[in-house]
Structure 1
């Protein structure tokens, strides 16, 4: 729709008067007449008893299970993830109402855009037909080799552009489109200095690109010959299409996303990845069009869901793409609006992974997606060595410079605290590992004289969180279940946690000295030493932002698993599981509580002894 078209007063009311809400809503919700109203199950929640009502007389709907309500326009906006103007245009077409045109110039511009859309649609149908014709055999073989049969071709409207210079042009001319319209739609190329235009797409598998309403506005083409240059070719920018403002499969993905409980759309790198994900059951997958994500594309993603997952190849190029996305996203982060990253190992992309290991492997990789702050931290941590005070200062400067890009004050402050905490913990762990390595070397010399040897202790991830709870005991009260469920890879850190949660239930005070004495009484001197030597940490105030951040950081240990062959993390890295993984593990609460009770009994026995 032309951006110059203005909806005049009264048009929206006339539109709603012409449309019966139960007709539109009834296409998505099975409604049953009940008195003057229609009743059905909520499309927004998984309820079993109907609490969704539609009133045609009042022209409203109300969903009591979710609290959502409004008119037919707001229903279309909610269920199809459309903007107000997109929903009005869609319903106006259904009602047979022509959108108003303010001036003759506006009307001409609107009609021209409609002709370009019709030209693209005619080309799309032509390409679909050519794929199924004799000349499309090579393209069919390619698609079948990628696991896509005729049903998938139809679902994604895949096609084939004949390997000829003017076949598409001549077909479109036969459908009454002029040469200038074909050029303006991006389907033909005009030679420099004049000469006959020629087809832009030749000898390629065709992927139609649609706008937010699902109308074809451009195409992508994949060359079939090994030496095809370029391998992938997109339409040039036109009045209809700007590659930085569009996402491949966006409308279909928004509709599929409405049927999921995920946090956002999945963003992959190419057409085939998006199609492979959709065919494997991840219908909310989209792809940019050969460029790094733009601010406009991020805005589209956030309109669909608050926490999209960017899925890139886990190679150097994939990391660079992830880092570029961070730079784009940082200024626009808001409370409840961020990004997650799924970086696949082994140079694989989603299509490779699904074909090699199946959809469940892809699901596992997505469940191990990392939050933006974690990828940002790893980027700066690994940028250069941090083995001197000057380089450590450089790390802090880079981290704070990145946080300073965030325009929202509360999110910026939260990032500054989180990144400083990560840096402090990481540097302390490095010092501990260095001391342990030094001690191991001394023990190695002693071993030559017959002294026993012990292995170097592992990195003590999570220790800082527990020390904060020691310094701020109210955290134990509000997070006892989460502490019980948390999994810490270092057994001595886990031992500190075990004593930490047992003391309050035994009516014992919580401080470093008491916990250290319990650990020593059990013979765990290393755990006692870890606790005693950890730097002093300021107390966290109740009900403040630092308390919330501590709870979020602790929850990351609730679903701790070693990353499989498809995750970003390598040996010794920390994996942040998705909210879906956390929810699935909450059934362990009872078992963990029982364990806490047993620890309590053990602590009391130690006191008696």
Structure 2
């Protein structure tokens, strides 16, 4: 333990507080509830009945009105655990993954030196901002305006321009009292390899200041304005202040925009301009790595801000590769309540392209369609090679299980194994049915789109059943989904009731599901199968029993929306077939004891079509008698 008699440098303490969210630490001792931008709870210092204890993550303070105590997270630990200042700092530093500096005059001097280098970077930022608005910055201003950014945005993001000269920035900083050594150490100048004077590191570039977790400028990114300039983007090299693998562009302001909510996370994109375009379009939680694949340090920062960040990648091969690398990096570290979601943008666009071409609404729509990490992992391995032989299918299983084995948390690892095996069984079942369909002359399977999208497509090809002729079982997957996840009925009972299925046993199964819901009966396979068999619908019962188990899905997630969209096709496609095809809308699967309820109103269309069918049958019988 560090001796309490020796002072820890102020810079270390400030960085420590910036890395820790107060609500995370305090929430372990006080049950906190989100209220606006603050967290509220009962005082840990008094026996109050009404909450008057507040935590503000943006200001990084707590205030207890019942006792009058308040302060930062360090003082909270000191009060609640009866620790000294140094003991509290050491405890929090260990939690934040920071190495406690040696408490010595040399350490304090080192921190003072870091402050001096940061002052150089701040002075350079102000200089670049000034140059952007001068005659020298015309090309940079034209570029920014062409990207839809106006002067107010330039100021918000502190954008600038580095003069296209070998020593202008150095000379300006020296005039501000900084030494050549300090300018070099801050990464704003480079030594000449020919023995000459140092020269400016950034020349003729649009400048993006890079801040640390406290908001202090520590480095720069520069974009070339000439089409043939190399490299297109240039970042500061590693310095005492900056290591690009440990920093995210816009992290501080994005974390503040996210607030201390109990869900969600940052929106991670690929570059400076994407992060700025997203922020200007209203997506203030956007951040970006600095030209590299996400590192473990950056993932840790992202997860500290929120448990379920969204990684948004360009819709091209490079973007997909970046998404796959992020999966491999993240898998060992996922835990309950901590994962990643992914958005792959359409048509080779990046976020800036999409927003300028189609507006912020298109970006919102893309984020609504985000997919989970397990889903993207499944798609990656499924599409890695053809699955037309048992050996290749075994290879898929081996790859999936090897990926799941990387997960360190045993509960999450087991959940991934169950989910991936379920997806694999569904897919192999579909491939077998498609193969049988080809043997029956149903067309060339290789030309049928979406064969890997089993839950959404609903087209199971042809199924050979004992004691019955082959029948297209379109919609079977959607009905079974509603059996295995009954909560979907809250979302789509009306749509399911109005759907028209070509196979009568799929319709009977659907009717039984709705009738069970109408009567308030628990919906499960065993009960439904027994009900169908008792009513004489042996084939429908067999279909339900033989269909692979589908994993439960969240009603408010993207898979539920896919289920509803896939179901809607049967409302449209089935209309014309209703008049000359047996829709199966009879009473064979109905529960005669059902009573009127909200569910009855939801599938009123079913009852109406049953009555119409009965009248048609009655009329047909009279014609036959005559």
Q: Same fold (TM over 0.5)?
A: yes
What is the CA–CA distance in structure 1 between the aligned matches of 2:205 and 2:2, rounded to whole Å?
A: 37
SS state of the match for residue 440, structure 2?
Answer: helix
- Residue 559 of structure 1: aligned partner: 561
For residues 108-507 of structure 1, the aligned pairs below 5 Å read 108-192=109-193, 194-258=195-259, 263-441=264-442, 461-462=477-478, 465=481, 469=484, 476=486, 481=490, 484=493, 491=501, 496-503=509-516, 505-506=518-519
TM-fit CA distance, 1:562: 8.9
Whole-Å Cα distance in 1 between the matches of residues 6 and 601 of structure 2? 65
Q: C-alpha separation between the residues in 2 aligned to 1:301 and 1:139?
A: 31
Q: Deviations over 1:462-508 (max 9, x none)?
A: 566456x4xxxxx75x7764674897999576874442242364488
Structure 1 residue 214, shift from structure 2 partner: 0.4
- Structure 1 residue aligned with 2:569: none
C-alpha distance after superposition, 1:323-345 (max 9, x if no partner): 00000000000000000001001
**Residues 371-426 of structure 1: per-residue CA shift (max 9 Å, x gap):** 00000000000000111110000000000000000000000000000000000011
Q: Secondary structure at the match of 2:561?
A: coil
Change in 2 beyond 3 A, CA 1:331/1:63: farther
Q: Does 1:534 align with 2:547?
A: yes
- Give the Cα separation in 1 of the matches to 2:362 and 2:412: 33
| 1:43 and 2:50 matched | no
Residues 559 and 519 (structure 1), Cα distance of their counterparts in 2 relative to 1, 3 Å cut: farther
Aligned partners of 1:416 and 1:205: how far apart in 2?
48
Q: CA deviation at 1:594?
A: 3.2
Gaps of 5+ in 1: 17-24, 26-39, 78-83, 89-98, 444-453, 470-474, 538-545, 565-589
Answering whether residue 602 of structure 2 is matched by residue 595 of structure 1, we say: yes
C-alpha contact (below 8 Å) 1:6/1:101 kept by paired residues = no
Give the superposition deviation at 1:176.
Answer: 1.2
Larger deviation, residues 209-218 vs 555-564: 555-564
Moved more, 368-377 or 595-604: 595-604
For these two proteins, the number of residue pairs brought into alignment is: 498
Judged with a 3 Å threshold, the aligned counterparts in structure 2 of structure 1 residues 345 and 459 are, in CA distance, closer, same or farther, namely farther
Contact kept? 1:485, 1:558, Cα under 8 Å: no
Equivalent pair of 2:121/2:186 in contact (CA under 8 Å)? yes
Unpaired segments of 5 or more residues in structure 2?
14-21, 23-33, 41-49, 56-60, 77-84, 90-99, 445-469, 567-596, 618-626
- TM-score if structure 2 supplies the norm length? 0.69
1:510 aligns with 2:527: yes
Structure 1's 62 and 396: CA in aligned 2 closer, same or farther, altered over 3 A? farther
Q: Which moved more, 1:488-497 or 1:103-112?
A: 488-497
SS state at 2:531 partner: helix
Q: Deviations over 1:45-82 (max 9, x none)?
A: 79xxx975569xxx953599xxxx994314999xxxxx
Distance 2:3 2:150 in 1: 44
Larger Rg: 2
SS in 2 for 1:558: helix
Q: 1:363 to 1:561 in 2, by over 3 A?
A: farther
* Residues 564-608 of structure 1 deviation map (CA, whole Å, 9 limit, x = unaligned): 9xxxxxxxxxxxxxxxxxxxxxxxxx986732577689999999x
Query: Within 2, Cα distance between the matches of 1:53 and 1:457?
Result: 59
Change (3 A) 1:495 1:71: farther
Q: 1:604 to 1:206 in 2, by over 3 A?
A: same
State how far apart, in whole Å, the 2-side matches of 1:479 and 1:166 are: 66
Q: Kindly tell me: are residues 100 and 427 of structure 1, through their superposed partners in 2, closer, same or farther at Cα, counting changes over 3 Å?
A: closer
Cα distance in 2 for residues equivalent to 1:175 and 1:481:
66
**CA 1:120–1:274 in structure 2 vs 1: closer, same or farther (change >3 Å)?**
same
Q: Equivalents in 1 of 2:7, 2:226: separation in Å?
A: 56
| TM superposition shift of 1:202 | 0.4
* Structure 1 residue 455: Cα displacement: 10
